[in-house]
Each structure stands twice: as C-alpha cells, then as structure tokens.
Structure 1
Amino acid sequence: MKYYLIAGEASGDLHGSNLMRGLLKSDPAARFRFWGGDRMAEVGGAENRVRDYRETSFFGIVGVLRNLGTISRQLRECREDVLRYAPDVLILVDYPGFNMKMARFAKEHGIRTFYYIAPKVWAWREWRVKAIRRYVDRLYIIFPFERNYFPRHGITPVFEGNPLLDAIAARSATLPSREEFGRANGLDERPVVALVAGSRRGEIEANLPLMCALAPRFPHYQFVVTGVSWLDRGLYDSHLAGTDVRMVVDQTYETLRNSVAAVVTSGTATLETALMRIPEVVVYRTVWWQVWLRPYVLKVPFISLVNLNLGREAVRELVQSSADPTEAQRALGAILPGGSERERMLGDYDELHAVMGGPGASDRFARDMVAELRKGATNGDRKA
C-alpha cells in the first residue's frame, strides 16, 4: 500500500521513522512519500522526501506571522503532491497547525486519514476536537489518560503504548558512560544535574536564569545545560556568563543518562526524563498574569506529562513568574541522592513505565493501521 506521512518537528521525524519501520513489518510492500527529516529518510528513502521538517517549522506567533506566505505555499505544495501521489492513507504525525489543515483537505478529497500522536487539545485549543471528529478517520493516542478524554468528545481513539519507550531503548545502547561523557565535554568529577530548559528561544529566556541560579546553592554538583544547535549560542552564553554552569549541544539523552537529577521545563522532556528514571523537578516561568489565570484557562490539573499520566503530582511542578530559586532549591534537594523524595519518585517511575504500555508501541500502532486499511479494502472502501 501507499503511505503519505507528514511530520513537522524533530520528535515527529523520530516517531514517524519508527512507525514506518513498523509499517514495513506489517506490509513489506509498503511505499512511502513524506515530509520529515533524516530519520524518516533512512527508512523511506531520501528520494521520497518532499520537504525536510527544518524547512517547515515555525515557532511562536511571531514566527508564524513572519512566514505566512511560506506556510501558505507549503500547504499548497503539500496538497498538490498528495493528490498526485494518491495514497491509500495520509498519516499525520503531531504538528497540528499544519496537519489539521491537511486533515480537512484529505477528507474533502476522499483520502483516508489517520492521525498519529493526537494534538494536545486537552491542554489548549480544545475547539480542535470538533475538527478531529469531523476530518480524521482514526485517531492514535500515546498517553494513557487520553483514553478517557477523547471518548467524552465522541471519538474512539487507539492506544497501543508510547513510542518514546522504543526511542529511549534504541538510544540507550549507544549512550556513553559517565567517564566518556565527562571527558568528551570537559566536565569535572562532580555528579551532574541536567538543566533541560526547552528547545525554543522563549522557553530558554524564561527558564534558564532560574535554573542557573540553582548552581551556586549546590556546589558539590555540576550543572549542565542541554542546548540545541538550531538556536544561537549567544542566547545561552548570555545566561551562563559568570556562572559555573556548563553546556552541551544536541546531547539531551546523553546528559540525562549521566545525571543524578534534572530540572526540566514542561513538555515531552518531562516524560523522557522520567522514563529514563532520572528524578526531576519541573519548572515553568511565565508572566504573573498567566500564573494567575492558570486555574481558569488550563484544561488539565498538571503541566507535566508524568503527573497527567499518573493522575497525581509524582514530580514537583513549580509555575512562577519570578526568578527566585528558593522553592526550586527545596524541591531539587529533596530528590538528590539521600533526599527525602528520591526513592518515592523512583517508585512512581516504575508505575509510569507500566501504564505507558511497554516497548514495541510503534510496531503495534503500525499493525493496527495496516489491519484497518486492509479491512477497508476488503469492504470495498479502498483498493490496497
């Protein structure tokens, strides 16, 4: 069968590539065309890639407004290419700003549409639920708590686990030892505390000052920022100047694997950190009025995916407008070796692993997709 996939971010490229491998296991004759990155190109062939996700990623309202013309052209290009390719299914991987528009287009042109990794409508833009119900033929979710959320809105989702477990397992075998990691990055012998400040400029500007302020309060630990190569180094240097905090680039998993604890901005990184069994504190700085409005506008009780999936505050969440590190200092001290909350948190991580569905999720999702397509073909809906 012919599969057309659209991924618009690094995480989508990773999960899209693993899904494609699973599709090939269930459908050895699978043919691909896709928007994605190098990982998807390794599986589906670079000649079948329409655009690299790095050409299509625009973050924040300002970034989108500045590139409205480019986004419009890319949407038009994608629509025309999908029609030319005439796939058996269009698989949308996260990236809702672009992909929800493609879902509507596909529905209007009779193209079967699967959405893999559902938009986080439970946190914001809940109005997208109606569009999902209207335009998506099959919704694939990766968080256990979503199994209760979407049926309340008239959608029966498919949950087969979380592909992060597969991604982490694949990377774990290649991660360096503590000695190798320290030597390669010029670190000293002190235990490492990872600072995962996000991958977007606004996140880093808001959260890194608070994170760096923790370092002098824990002199027996070495604090290491996990930077990303697509942001200007000067953004980090402006906050690291005059501190003892070190920085590594594009080595988040390597840093986490060799850390005793982490301070993490909300997002997928909170879940990755927990699945790697690294005790963490979640911090999120924003303007005061957003802190005040949080109980009224946020649709869920927590900001971290760890707590959302466990249904309780397993990891400490600190949402604040100031850069005062006092609360973060207390929370971090409690999860460092010997801290009062460390063993309890590690026990909660065992439960998290269990509810996330175990390894092999990518293959299970792919198996369901192929079975669903073949069932449709048998019923005369489409030709395989």
Structure 2
Amino acid sequence: MKYYLVAGEASGDLHGSNLMKGLKQHDPQAEFRFFGGDLMAAVGGTLVKHYREMAFMGFLEVVKNLRAISRNFSDCQSDIAAFMPDVIILIDYPGFNFRIAKWAKERGIKVFYYIAPKVWAWKEGRVKRLQQHVDQLFTIFPFETDYFRRFGIKVCYEGNPLVDALDQKRKTLPTFDEFVAANQLEKKKIVGLLAGSRKQEVEKCLPLMKQVAARFPEYQFVVAGAPSLSREFYAPFLSDGAVKMVYNQTYELFSVSTAALVTSGTATLEAALHRVPQAVCYRTSHISAAIARAFIKIKWVSLVNIIMNREVVRELLQYDMTVDKMAEELEALLPGGAKREQVLRDYAELMQLLGEVGSSERTARRMVELLSE
C-alpha cells in the first residue's frame, strides 16, 4: 500500500520513523512519501519537505510566517494529489495537519491521525474536526482513550512510542567516560539543559538557564542542541564558555545527566523515561503567553504531570522562570537534595502507566489491519 505521512517536528520524525519500520514489517510492499526528517528518510521512501522548514510556534511567530505556512500547505496538497496514497497518516502537528485532514477527507482519501492533538488541553472545539475528517485516531497516552470515545471518535491505544525509542537507543548509549571523551567535556557531573527545539524557545530560555550554571561550579551544564536548529544558531549562546553543547544527542545527554532543566514538551517525558530528575522551565513572548493563559484549560503543561494527574516535577513558567527559582529547584533535585528520591519513585509509577515496548509495531499492525478490511 501507499502511505503519505506528515510530521512537522523532530518528535514527529522520531515516531514517524518507528511507525514506518512497523508498517514495512506488516506490509513489505509499503511505499512512503512524507513531510518529515532525517530519521524517516533513513527508513526509506521520499522526503518531500524537512520539518525544519515548518517549525513555527506561538501566535506572533505564526503570523509573521503565514506566507511560508501557506506555501507548505500547497506543496503538501499537490504532492499528495500526485502520489494518490491509500492513506494519509498525520503525526501530531495539529495546526497544519487539521487542514490536511479536511482537504484529504473532502477528496475521499482515508485519514489516520497518529499521536492525537492535545485538544484536552486547549481548543476542545477542534474535537469536531477529528469527528468529521479523521477515520481513525491513534493515541499515545492511556487517559486519552476514554476522553476521545466520549465524542464518538474511533480510538486505538497501543502504548507510548517513546518507550520504543528509548529501548532502541539503550544498547548504544555511551558510558559517562565515553560521552565526555567524545564531546571534549570535563569529567564533572552533568546537568542537562533542554532549551527547546525552536529558535524562539531557545532565545527566551537558554540565557536564563546559563545564569543558573554559574551557581553550581561543581557541575558542568550541557545544552542539547536540537537537530531542527543549526550549530551556527547556537554559537552566540556558547561563546562565553559558560555552558557546553552536544548536537543531536539528546538521549545520550539524558543517559549521563544527574539532573536537568527542561522546557515543556516531549523532552519532559524523555527525561522521566531516562530517570533524570528535572525542573520544567519555559518562557515565551508576552503576547503568546497571554493567549495561552486564556485558552489552556489544564492544570499542568508537562506531560509527566498531566499523565500522573499530580505534580511530580515542578513547573516554572513565564514569570516564575527566574534564576533564583530554577537554582532552588535544581538544588533539591541533585544528589542529597530534598526532592530527588521522591521524583524517582514517581517516575517508576509513570513507566508502568505507559506500557511495554512495541507500541510502534503494534500501532502499525493495527493500521495495516484496518486498511485491509
């Protein structure tokens, strides 16, 4: 069968690549075209557009880039029409993918949505789009199943694909000594800095995180350079030597980190799966923050807290993201700190909720079964 996948972010590229491996396993004749990234390209098929050309976040940033977004949509639409797939698999990225879903459904193309849009967090009205334009929804969090079924949406839950991603990486992760030698770091304990995967996030968060580093001279602070951003973009933040950077080595960095400061998003869950105590730290523009406050209807923003339905990791958001508060929380998370052991116990409970390895393969198998009916 012919599959067209649309992923607009680094996390979508990761999960899309693992899903494609599962699809090839259950459909050896599978043909792929996709908007995605290097990981998906490595599986096979044709990469039409890289997610680096699509990473816009926040109200102002979207408005400034409306022309580019419109061009991306037109390119995707034209390419799908030429390819004539048996199914379109949309991976998260709702602002873009909802439009593709509507366009495809109007033309009679089957639409699967993998990694459900977080309509339970904000813009619940978008549930109607899922009802109208999506044939099957594939969720990755256990609480989502009952939520979406309340609206009459066909839902399939086969576990969380991050568990698969970590399992695949685990055998090749370096030791601490190997990691510091390969990246020319000091032999000091590491605090990871996950400042986001978009320019706006890094520009707002990393300068403050760097100031925290100055208060912990016995540790080295290492930035996880996101593959969606160039090394040149990071250069001004690294020029004073206050922090170091490793590029496109997030899992490797987590595997050797003692603790971390992490922006909200997938990285919060990745830190938990690596058993790295973390503080969630996030700032955006004043206008984007005001809009978010008006629409977000959940108590927490980090996936760890949302899944557990309680505060496991502290969230320092917008004006609460100060150097003093980050330093105070980090102190509590480092060895001997007041919060470290409790956070690790909570992480163990979280892992039980997320299910066993094999989520991507199980989801792919279900997709092929549905397409073969």
User: Could you state the TM-score of these two structures normalised by the residue count of structure 2?
Assistant: 0.91
Provide structure 1 residue ranges, at least 5 long, that are not aligned to the other structure: 376-384
Cα deviation 1:290-335 (Å, max 9, x = unaligned): 8788765321111100011111111111224166322222221122
Q: Aligned pair in 2 of structure 1 residues 109, 303: CA closer, same or farther (>3 Å)? A: same
Answer whether contact 1:37 1:52 (CA < 8 A) is retained. yes
**C-alpha displacement of 1:59:** 4.1
2:268 corresponds to 1:270? yes
For the aligned residue pairs, the C-alpha RMSD in angstroms reads 2.5
Is the contact made by 1:287 and 1:321 (CA closer than 8 Å) also made in structure 2? no
Q: In the aligned structure 2, how far is the partner of 1:4 from the partner of 1:79?
A: 11
1:287, distance to aligned residue in structure 2 (A): 6.2
Q: Which runs of 4+ in 1 moved over 6 A?
A: 287-295
Q: Which amino acid aligns with 1:129?
A: V
Q: Give the 5 Å matches for 1:317-332.
A: 317-321=315-319, 324-332=322-330
Matched residue, 2:70: 72
SS at match of 2:124: coil
Match of 1:309 among 307, 310, 313: 307
The SS at the match of 2:102 is helix
Contact 2:264–2:281 (CA under 8 A) maintained in structure 1: yes
Q: Give the Cα–Cα distance (whole angstroms) in 2 for the partners of residues 28 and 326 of structure 1.
A: 55
Q: Distance in 1 between matches of 2:232 and 2:3?
A: 41
Contact 2:11 2:266 in 1 (8 A): no
Aligned equivalent of 2:179: 181
Counterpart of 1:214 (choices 209, 212, 215) is 212
Question: 1:23-34 residue pairs with structure 2 within 5 A?
Answer: 23-34=23-34
Q: What SS is found at the alignment partner of 2:108? A: coil
With the length of structure 1 as denominator, give the TM-score of the two structures.
0.88
Q: Residue 283 of structure 1 aligns with which residue?
A: 281
Counterpart Cα distance in 1 of 2:230 and 2:65 = 20
Q: Aligned pair in 2 of structure 1 residues 93, 220: CA closer, same or farther (>3 Å)?
A: same
- After superposition, give the CA deviation of every residue in 1:235-268 in whole Å (9 maximum; x if it has no partner): 5454555563222222221211111111111111
Gaps of at least 5 residues in structure 2 are: none
The CA distance in 1 between the partners of 2:8 and 2:365, in whole Å, is 23
Q: 1:256 aligns with which of 254, 257, 265?
A: 254
Which residue in 2 is equivalent to 1:86?
84
- Any conservation in 2 of the 1:286–1:319 contact (CA below 8 Å)? no
Q: Who is 1:17 aligned against?
A: 17
Give secondary structure in 2 for the equivalent of 1:307: helix
Distance verdict in 2 for CA 1:118–1:230, change over 3 Å: closer
Corresponding residue number in structure 2 for 1:346: 344
- Conserved 8 A contact 1:266-1:284: yes
Q: After superposition, where does 1:168-247 map in structure 2 within 5 Å?
A: 168-228=166-226, 230-231=228-229, 236-240=234-238, 242=240, 244-247=242-245
C-alpha separation in 2, matches of 1:215 and 1:71: 37
Q: Report the alpha carbon displacement of residue 55 of structure 1 after superposing the two structures with TM.
A: 3.6
SS at match of 1:32: strand
What is the distance in 1 between the residues matched to 2:282 and 2:313?
A: 13
> Deviations along 1:319-352, whole A, 9 cap, x unmatched?
2416632222222112211222212111111111
Asked if the contact 2:56/2:198 (under 8 Å) is kept, the reply is no
- Following the alignment from structure 2 to structure 1, what is the Cα–Cα distance between the partners of residues 75 and 241? 47
Contact residue 197 and residue 208 of structure 1 kept, 8 A: yes
User: Which residue number corresponds to residue 119 of structure 2?
Assistant: 121
Do the aligned partners of 1:91 and 1:116 also contact (CA within 8 Å) in 2? yes
- Contact persistence 2:101–2:111 (CA under 8 A): yes
Quick check: 2:198–2:228 contact (8 Å CA) kept in 1? Answer: no
CA 1:49 to 1:322, structure 2 compared with 1: closer, same or farther past 3 Å? closer
Residue 116 of structure 1 and its aligned partner are, at CA, apart by 0.6
CA offsets, 1:175-200, max 9 Å, x none? 22211211222222221011111111
Q: Give the letter for the 2:32 counterpart.
A: F
State the distance in 2 between where 1:294 and 1:64 align: 14
Q: Which residue of 2 aligns with 1:149?
A: 147
Asked if structure 1 preserves the Cα contact closer than 8 Å seen for 2:10 and 2:228, the reply is no
